[in-house]
Amino acid sequence: MYRLRRRVFKERLDWTVSVSGDVELDVYDILSPTYLLVMTGAGKVAGSVRLLPTTGANMLADTFAILLGGEQPPCSERILESSRFCVDTELVFALNENGLNRVTFMLFAAMIEAGQAAGAEKIVTVTDTRMERVLRRAGWPLARIAEPQRLGETMALAGYLDGSDKSLAVMYRQAGIAGPVLVEPMAVRAVA
Protein backbone atom coordinates (compact mmCIF):
# COMPACT_ATOMS: atom_id res chain seq x y z
CA MET A 1 0.00 0.00 0.00
CA TYR A 2 2.76 2.46 0.90
CA ARG A 3 4.61 1.60 -2.33
CA LEU A 4 1.45 2.21 -4.34
CA ARG A 5 1.01 5.55 -2.58
CA ARG A 6 4.55 6.56 -3.57
CA ARG A 7 3.95 5.60 -7.20
CA VAL A 8 0.66 7.50 -7.33
CA PHE A 9 1.28 10.60 -5.22
CA LYS A 10 4.99 11.20 -5.80
CA GLU A 11 5.77 9.69 -9.18
CA ARG A 12 2.50 10.06 -11.11
CA LEU A 13 0.92 13.17 -9.54
CA ASP A 14 4.20 14.78 -8.39
CA TRP A 15 2.67 16.01 -5.13
CA THR A 16 4.91 17.24 -2.33
CA VAL A 17 4.76 14.17 -0.11
CA SER A 18 7.17 12.47 2.30
CA VAL A 19 8.90 9.46 0.83
CA SER A 20 11.37 7.04 2.33
CA GLY A 21 12.91 4.57 -0.07
CA ASP A 22 10.10 3.16 -2.18
CA VAL A 23 7.25 4.11 0.20
CA GLU A 24 5.15 7.20 0.96
CA LEU A 25 4.24 7.85 4.60
CA ASP A 26 3.05 10.88 6.53
CA VAL A 27 2.34 11.85 10.13
CA TYR A 28 -1.29 10.71 9.85
CA ASP A 29 -0.16 7.11 9.34
CA ILE A 30 1.02 6.96 12.97
CA LEU A 31 -2.46 7.84 14.29
CA SER A 32 -3.82 4.29 13.88
CA PRO A 33 -6.03 5.07 10.88
CA THR A 34 -8.28 2.52 9.24
CA TYR A 35 -6.94 1.40 5.86
CA LEU A 36 -9.26 -0.05 3.25
CA LEU A 37 -7.56 -2.17 0.59
CA VAL A 38 -8.75 -3.85 -2.59
CA MET A 39 -6.58 -6.89 -3.25
CA THR A 40 -6.08 -8.82 -6.49
CA GLY A 41 -6.42 -12.58 -6.61
CA ALA A 42 -2.61 -12.70 -6.60
CA GLY A 43 -2.47 -10.82 -3.29
CA LYS A 44 -1.39 -7.44 -4.72
CA VAL A 45 -2.84 -4.12 -3.57
CA ALA A 46 -5.05 -2.82 -6.40
CA GLY A 47 -6.24 0.22 -4.45
CA SER A 48 -6.37 1.77 -1.01
CA VAL A 49 -7.75 4.62 1.05
CA ARG A 50 -7.13 5.84 4.61
CA LEU A 51 -9.87 6.84 7.07
CA LEU A 52 -9.42 8.96 10.19
CA PRO A 53 -11.96 10.30 12.68
CA THR A 54 -12.43 14.05 12.50
CA THR A 55 -12.48 14.18 16.30
CA GLY A 56 -8.69 13.96 16.36
CA ALA A 57 -5.78 15.11 14.24
CA ASN A 58 -6.55 14.96 10.52
CA MET A 59 -5.31 16.43 7.24
CA LEU A 60 -8.08 18.95 6.67
CA ALA A 61 -7.94 20.49 10.14
CA ASP A 62 -4.19 20.33 10.68
CA THR A 63 -2.56 20.57 7.24
CA PHE A 64 -5.05 21.99 4.75
CA ALA A 65 -7.20 24.38 6.81
CA ILE A 66 -6.77 26.94 4.02
CA LEU A 67 -9.24 24.85 2.01
CA LEU A 68 -11.99 25.55 4.57
CA GLY A 69 -12.59 29.09 3.32
CA GLY A 70 -12.78 30.42 6.87
CA GLU A 71 -15.16 27.67 8.07
CA GLN A 72 -14.37 25.59 11.15
CA PRO A 73 -13.02 22.11 10.38
CA PRO A 74 -15.47 19.27 10.96
CA CYS A 75 -15.10 17.64 14.36
CA SER A 76 -17.79 15.03 14.80
CA GLU A 77 -18.19 11.31 15.38
CA ARG A 78 -20.64 11.46 12.47
CA ILE A 79 -17.92 12.57 10.00
CA LEU A 80 -14.84 10.61 8.92
CA GLU A 81 -11.96 11.94 6.86
CA SER A 82 -10.69 10.01 3.85
CA SER A 83 -7.25 10.55 2.40
CA ARG A 84 -4.62 8.89 0.22
CA PHE A 85 -7.19 7.33 -2.11
CA CYS A 86 -5.31 5.57 -4.89
CA VAL A 87 -5.76 2.84 -7.49
CA ASP A 88 -2.99 0.92 -9.23
CA THR A 89 -3.84 1.64 -12.85
CA GLU A 90 -1.07 -0.75 -13.95
CA LEU A 91 -3.00 -3.65 -12.36
CA VAL A 92 -6.53 -2.52 -13.11
CA PHE A 93 -7.55 -2.11 -16.72
CA ALA A 94 -11.30 -2.83 -17.02
CA LEU A 95 -13.37 0.34 -17.22
CA ASN A 96 -17.14 0.62 -17.07
CA GLU A 97 -19.27 2.85 -19.31
CA ASN A 98 -18.32 6.05 -17.43
CA GLY A 99 -14.60 5.39 -17.84
CA LEU A 100 -13.92 4.37 -14.24
CA ASN A 101 -12.70 0.99 -13.04
CA ARG A 102 -14.39 -1.45 -10.70
CA VAL A 103 -11.70 -1.03 -8.02
CA THR A 104 -12.62 2.66 -7.72
CA PHE A 105 -16.26 1.76 -7.04
CA MET A 106 -15.30 -1.00 -4.61
CA LEU A 107 -13.17 1.46 -2.64
CA PHE A 108 -15.98 4.04 -2.67
CA ALA A 109 -18.41 1.37 -1.41
CA ALA A 110 -15.91 0.28 1.26
CA MET A 111 -15.58 3.89 2.45
CA ILE A 112 -19.34 4.17 2.88
CA GLU A 113 -19.59 0.75 4.56
CA ALA A 114 -16.77 1.58 6.99
CA GLY A 115 -18.34 4.96 7.69
CA GLN A 116 -21.70 3.39 8.44
CA ALA A 117 -20.04 0.80 10.71
CA ALA A 118 -18.51 3.73 12.63
CA GLY A 119 -21.81 5.61 12.82
CA ALA A 120 -20.69 8.27 10.34
CA GLU A 121 -23.13 10.00 8.02
CA LYS A 122 -20.54 11.83 5.90
CA ILE A 123 -16.98 11.59 4.75
CA VAL A 124 -14.88 14.73 4.36
CA THR A 125 -11.91 14.73 2.06
CA VAL A 126 -9.17 16.91 0.66
CA THR A 127 -8.70 16.25 -3.02
CA ASP A 128 -8.06 17.93 -6.33
CA THR A 129 -10.43 19.10 -9.03
CA ARG A 130 -9.53 16.07 -11.18
CA MET A 131 -10.77 13.69 -8.48
CA GLU A 132 -13.83 15.89 -7.96
CA ARG A 133 -14.74 15.17 -11.60
CA VAL A 134 -14.16 11.43 -11.02
CA LEU A 135 -16.53 11.51 -8.04
CA ARG A 136 -19.18 13.31 -10.09
CA ARG A 137 -18.87 10.75 -12.92
CA ALA A 138 -19.14 7.97 -10.34
CA GLY A 139 -22.47 9.32 -9.10
CA TRP A 140 -21.03 10.39 -5.74
CA PRO A 141 -20.67 14.16 -6.07
CA LEU A 142 -18.52 16.12 -3.65
CA ALA A 143 -20.26 18.95 -1.77
CA ARG A 144 -17.58 21.64 -1.72
CA ILE A 145 -16.79 23.41 1.53
CA ALA A 146 -15.16 26.33 -0.29
CA GLU A 147 -13.75 27.17 -3.70
CA PRO A 148 -10.58 25.33 -4.83
CA GLN A 149 -7.19 26.82 -3.96
CA ARG A 150 -3.91 26.38 -5.79
CA LEU A 151 -1.50 24.26 -3.73
CA GLY A 152 1.72 23.93 -5.71
CA GLU A 153 0.71 22.62 -9.13
CA THR A 154 -2.65 21.28 -7.88
CA MET A 155 -6.06 22.90 -7.66
CA ALA A 156 -7.11 21.46 -4.29
CA LEU A 157 -10.40 21.55 -2.44
CA ALA A 158 -12.22 20.03 0.50
CA GLY A 159 -15.73 18.67 0.54
CA TYR A 160 -18.21 16.21 1.92
CA LEU A 161 -19.34 12.88 0.51
CA ASP A 162 -22.71 11.39 1.43
CA GLY A 163 -22.56 8.19 3.46
CA SER A 164 -26.18 7.12 2.93
CA ASP A 165 -27.62 3.79 1.83
CA LYS A 166 -28.66 5.51 -1.41
CA SER A 167 -25.03 6.43 -2.22
CA LEU A 168 -23.92 2.93 -1.24
CA ALA A 169 -26.47 1.36 -3.61
CA VAL A 170 -25.09 3.51 -6.45
CA MET A 171 -21.55 2.27 -5.74
CA TYR A 172 -22.69 -1.37 -5.62
CA ARG A 173 -24.50 -0.97 -8.94
CA GLN A 174 -21.48 0.73 -10.56
CA ALA A 175 -19.15 -2.01 -9.25
CA GLY A 176 -21.52 -4.70 -10.52
CA ILE A 177 -21.98 -6.31 -7.12
CA ALA A 178 -25.02 -7.08 -4.97
CA GLY A 179 -23.72 -6.29 -1.54
CA PRO A 180 -21.01 -5.60 0.98
CA VAL A 181 -17.39 -5.32 -0.08
CA LEU A 182 -15.73 -5.29 3.35
CA VAL A 183 -14.47 -8.73 4.25
CA GLU A 184 -13.80 -7.83 7.86
CA PRO A 185 -15.84 -4.77 8.82
CA MET A 186 -13.89 -2.80 11.38
CA ALA A 187 -15.16 0.05 13.46
CA VAL A 188 -13.26 3.29 12.97
CA ARG A 189 -12.34 4.42 16.43
CA ALA A 190 -13.32 7.82 17.71
CA VAL A 191 -10.59 9.93 19.27
CA ALA A 192 -11.58 12.10 22.21
Domains of the chain (ranges plus CATH)?
A: 2-175 (3.40.630.30)
What does 36-77 look like in DSSP terms, one character per residue? EEEE-TTS-EEEEEEEEETTS--HHHHT-GGGGTTPPPP--T
Residues 6+ apart with CB under 8 A from 9: 15, 17, 24, 84, 86
Question: pLDDT band at residue 190, thresholds of 50, 70 and 90?
Answer: very low
Which phi and psi angles does 175 have, rounded to 5°? Answer: -80, -10
* pLDDT tens readout for residues 107-165: 999 999 999 999 999 999 999 999 999 999 999 999 999 999 998 888 999 999 999 99
- In this prediction the pTM is 0.88
Handedness of CA 129, 150, 53, 162 (dihedral sign): negative
**Cβ proximity of 92 and 102 under 8 Å:** yes
Name residue 122's amino acid. K
